[in-house]
A and B are shown apart, each in its own frame.
Chain A
């Protein structure tokens, strides 16, 4: 897992490993993170990227995937 911006501050770290059951989805990962990191529990808008591409909640994760969690972007 990689966390960016406000979510990095809320999680209190930039990176960590997460071990999930085989066949777990992006949605399950987000739920597990919300439990692990309380401050993220109440956040409504969470974007997830897997291996550098935006991911849908139903997408299945496989061993070794690099997922990133971040708030809506504000560049430009």
Chain B
């Protein structure tokens, strides 16, 4: 499943929906808003995305992960809009028969998101607002 949303989500609910009897391993990654970045205090975060393209890219990455690593299922949820410190930003969950391919696929999905999914974070700090520099191509 692929989802982008302004709302918070429940990790338990996502995992509950993902799990099947074929899965001996379930690896999750959850990213949060930190209260510090580059030595500055962060008050909150604004996340912007190009919605149509983000959904297309996430779906493509999911398909690649399924094919490359032979995992059972991949779920990605990414939030946008206004987030506070400690809020969940995104979650990746990979269900697989065994742990090795689940870990590998989860990392692959995360690195691909950081490189090619059109989402941008802006940190709001007491010293001003700063766009997070992308790691992309």
Contacts and interface: CB of A to CB of B under 8 A. Distances in A.
B8 interface: no
Q: State the main secondary structure of chain A at its contact with B.
A: mixed
Given A6-B131, A47-B137, A73 B117 contact: yes
B88 interface: no
Chain B interface residue number, banded: 20 to 34
B25 interface: no
Contacts of A70: 50, 118, 120
Contacts of A75: 47, 49, 54, 78, 90, 113-114, 117-121
A74 B31 CA distance: 13
Nearest to B48: A5
Contacts of A73: 114-120, 134, 136
Interface residues of A, number: 18
Interface string A43-76: 0000101001110000000000000101111111
